[in-house]
Amino acid sequence: MISHVFIGVNDLDRASDFYAPIMDELGWRRRHAKAPAHLVMWNLAESTRPLFVLGPPFDGQVADPGNGGMVALLAPDRATVDRTYAIAMAAGATSEGTPGLRPQYHAHYYGAYFRDLDGNKICIVCHQAVDS
Domain spans in the chain, listed from the N-terminal domain onward: 4-57+69-126
pLDDT of residue 131: 62
pLDDT in tens, 76-121: 999 999 999 999 999 999 999 999 999 999 999 999 999 999 999 9
DSSP letters along 61-125, please? SPP-PPTT--EEEE-SSHHHHHHHHHHHHHTT-EEEEEEEE-TTT-TT-EEEEEE-TT--EEEEE
In this model, does residue 130 exceed pLDDT 70? yes
- The superfamily (CATH) of domain 4-57+69-126 is 2,3-Dihydroxybiphenyl 1,2-Dioxygenase, domain 1 (3.10.180.10)
pLDDT in tens, 26-46: 999 998 766 678 899 999 888
In this model, does residue 2 exceed pLDDT 90? no
